[in-house]
Structure 1
Amino acid sequence: MTPAPRLRVLAAMSGGVDSAVAAARAAEAGHDVTGVHLALSANPQSFRTGARGCCTIEDSRDARRAADVIGIPFYIWDMAERFRAEVVDDFVAEYRAGRTPNPCLRCNEKIKFAALLDKALALGFDAVCTGHYATIVTGPDGRRELHRASDQTKDQSYVLGVLDERQLAHALFPLGDTLTTKDEIRAEAERRGLAVAAKPDSHDICFIADGDTRGFLANRLGAAEGDILDEDGNRVGSHDGATGFTIGQRKGLRIGRPAPDGRPRYVLDISPVNNTVTVGPAEALEIAELTAIRPRWCGTPPTGPGAYTAQLRAHGEEVPVTAEAEGDELRVRFERPVRGVAPGQAVVLYDGTRVVGSGTIAATTRARAGTAG
């Protein structure tokens, strides 16, 4: 058997346990590994202690200590301005437009596998290594394919669905093809002498210091009182800023009177133009199809309509769909209605465990009476 080639690998080290173990495994596999921590905040003291996403001084120190233990060179690269422009400003702009973005996908697309990868390749590195749980498989045609992690309970392929063929050719995910639990990853880190073994995970948005997304948006977009309407346009309550709501939201609506049938109501639509939020019953959330824009393909784009499964959230279920790419749009029809689909979210298509590609949801068609959302 021909041994795997020795690569020059740049390991993105966030300061957490996953990226530290990934870097250690890459080094143990015989690659020439250099660790790098991305400084993504111009004022890291303002970001939450222990946050995932390279956001605190503590994280940078943890990453440096891990690199020292592994025995690899280590650097800190300042990408705060790029991160602010590509991720934070985009996040605010999407909410201003009434959409619900996913900043983790945006960061993977624009920072870790664009800005970071481009710089790595310019410096002579062969690949970028991260602690994501996903698998890269070489297909029958010799091309690299992105697949779900072996342990699908930890799978993170959804947030990597924005990677294109070129980026996959230079990606390395050492954690994705092993059936290990998170406790076992922590135990491995401890065996390797990595102090981050017991460091807690964070699943919040890394650049929102206190986890208060509504307050974060109000500070940047302002808070203006508006109406909460039912499906017939009747005023049923008020709010202090439409940008603080998401499609499918039930709690925190401050509706003055109950629905005539006594059932709970959910956010169906957000209109930043007239600062209104429309609410209605759960069944009105059911979506029959959607249109996504800016499709990105993890390999050769599909031709013609095809049967796939689709995932609409990072930890959401797979649902069977028929999908077809038409120029710069992706049309997806669900075999059964799904709920809580919001413009701005990503739809990721799968063929078995293989990630086919993704798109940003631009419009939806409701199952009930075929109304658009």
Structure 2
Amino acid sequence: MKVLAAMSGGVDSAVAAARAVEAGHDVVGVHLALSRMPGTLRTGSRGCCTIEDSRDAWRACDILGIPYYVWDFSERFKEDVVDDFVAEYAAGRTPNPCMRCNERIKFAALLEKALALGFDAVCTGHYAKVITDADGNPELHRAADWAKDQSYVLGVLTHEQLKHSMFPLAETPSKAEVRAEAERRGLSVANKPDSHDICFIPDGDTRGWLEERIDMTEGDIVDSSGEKIGTHPGANAFTVGQRKGLKLGRPADDGKPRFVLEIRPKENKVVVGPEKLLNIDQMRGIKISWAGLPIPEIEARTQFDCMVQVRAHGDPVAARGWMEDVASDEADGGVREELVVRLNEPMRGVAPGQSMVIYQGTRVLGQATIDSARSLEWDPAAVS
């Protein structure tokens, strides 16, 4: 099989490519250049896809004896990931840029080009597995090592993309084993630290970076009943769950701290309230995609048991899910599909814009972008 190995410059992608070569595939390595100004991406252990990562990827391919190329996806990355990140924050949502990068760059754009060039599959160093069912349809499942499992950030992959996805690290029991294997193979990235944080914010100051790109206008801070209790320098500077920096003019009646419950950019309001209202009971998701074929309950519009996860390394929570057709607030007055998830127990720290990934057992059913998340003890309509 002709395989394109996506080489990030890290140890996982290097070992994944090595295993694909060892399995007898015809492998070509490619590194994605995501910025034409390397200084705008994080470097060292905190970044990915930088110049130094490109060199590490080249060295790995040289050791493996496979061709190596660098593909410039910087324009697509800016439009589909960076600009989307800014737009989502401007709309009062909290996006996950790694999800968008996997969805639109590392699989949509990369796989599209790979297939056009005659490759059969794209190989990456993600910790997840693809299992084929009795009818030959691919399913996305958690990796053997749940501590390193990355199925959450791959929840955006579609049925067709899964058909051409290869994850050689799926059954690896630990990251330590991957590093030891890299050492045995003579790969210089064996002990390279993992990348983390947002790669396109060099100093890690997300708030400061956003303030340079989003107009901030003073507005009202209101409580959960809609009463004005303070002012803010710009609604987009706040995040759901935030407690510090509110600078409210008066304490709550019970003397307890108040937290950001909701951000309303159209009204330029920040809604605050007691901590208990951060316990989310229900979420509604839009921009839904299914990882493989949808389960029968989706087509039948019936409820189903599931587990829902809202962070890459968050704990999944038991829930009931169902699909609903909801009147759209768009100008055409149409109808949109929403995925509704009712949690069996409350979840903290959920904000619109995050991705909720739905599981049954180890299988990823699909994902949706959270459009609203609320405590059933509070009706946001109370804030006028």
Tell me the TM-score range normalised by the shorter chain: over 0.9
Structure 1 residue 162: Cα displacement: 0.6
Structure 1 residue 332: Cα displacement: 1.3
- Verify: 1:368 aligned to 2:377, yes or no: yes
In structure 2, which of residues 233, 236, 254 is the aligned counterpart of residue 261 of structure 1?
254
Q: Which moved more, 1:37-46 or 1:351-360?
A: 37-46
In structure 2, which of residues 197, 215, 221 is the aligned counterpart of residue 222 of structure 1?
215
Structure 1 residue 250: Cα displacement: 2.8
Structure 1 residue 170: Cα displacement: 0.4
Structure 1 residue 369: Cα displacement: 3.9
Q: Which runs of 5+ in 2 are unaligned?
A: 326-336
Residues 365 and 232 (structure 1), Cα distance of their counterparts in 2 relative to 1, 3 Å cut: closer
1:183-222 CA deviation, whole Å, 9 max, x = no partner? 3322222221111122222220111111111111111113
**What are the within-5 Å matches in structure 2 for residues 197-276 of structure 1?**
197-276=190-269
With the length of structure 2 as denominator, give the TM-score of the two structures: 0.90
**What are the within-5 Å matches in structure 2 for residues 287-298 of structure 1?**
287-298=280-291
Contact 1:286 1:368 (8 Å CA) reproduced: no
In structure 2, which of residues 141, 151, 163 is the aligned counterpart of residue 157 of structure 1?
151
Matched with 1:307 is: 305
User: How far apart are the structure 1 equivalents of 2:46 and 2:115?
Assistant: 25
Contact 1:40 1:54 (8 Å CA) reproduced: no
Matched with 2:278 is: 285
Structure 1 residue 296: Cα displacement: 0.5
User: How far apart are the structure 2 equivalents of 1:11 and 1:186?
Assistant: 18
Structure 1 residue 350: Cα displacement: 0.5
Residues 88 and 67 (structure 1), Cα distance of their counterparts in 2 relative to 1, 3 Å cut: same
Q: Which moved more, 1:153-162 or 1:356-365?
A: 356-365
- Verify: 1:324 aligned to 2:322, yes or no: yes
1:41-92 CA deviation, whole Å, 9 max, x = no partner? 1211221212666432111111111111111110000000001111111111
User: How far apart are the structure 2 equivalents of 1:226 and 1:370?
Assistant: 22
What's the RMSD between the two structures over aligned residues?
1.9
Matched with 1:55 is: 49
Q: Which moved more, 1:331-340 or 1:315-324?
A: 331-340
Percent of residue pairs bearing the same amino acid type: 63
With the length of structure 1 as denominator, give the TM-score of the two structures: 0.93
Letter of the 2:200 partner, please give it.
F
- Verify: 1:34 aligned to 2:28, yes or no: yes
Matched with 1:359 is: 368
Matched with 1:334 is: 343
User: How far apart are the structure 2 equivalents of 1:199 and 1:265?
Assistant: 42
Residue-pair matches, total: 366
Matched with 1:73 is: 67
Contact 1:97 1:272 (8 Å CA) reproduced: yes
* Partner secondary structure for residue 197 of structure 1: coil
User: How far apart are the structure 2 equivalents of 1:101 and 1:9?
Assistant: 31
Contact 1:51 1:206 (8 Å CA) reproduced: no
Letter of the 2:92 partner, please give it.
G
**What are the within-5 Å matches in structure 2 for residues 85-164 of structure 1?**
85-164=79-158
Letter of the 1:339 partner, please give it.
R
User: How far apart are the structure 1 equivalents of 2:47 and 2:5?
Assistant: 14
Residues 286 and 135 (structure 1), Cα distance of their counterparts in 2 relative to 1, 3 Å cut: same
* Partner secondary structure for residue 201 of structure 2: coil
In structure 2, which of residues 167, 178, 182 is the aligned counterpart of residue 173 of structure 1?
167
Letter of the 1:288 partner, please give it.
D
Structure 1 residue 285: Cα displacement: 1.3
User: How far apart are the structure 2 equivalents of 1:46 and 1:288?
Assistant: 39
Residues 195 and 237 (structure 1), Cα distance of their counterparts in 2 relative to 1, 3 Å cut: farther
Matched with 2:14 is: 20
Letter of the 1:310 partner, please give it.
V
Letter of the 2:353 partner, please give it.
G
User: How far apart are the structure 2 equivalents of 1:115 and 1:241?
Assistant: 35
* Partner secondary structure for residue 77 of structure 1: strand
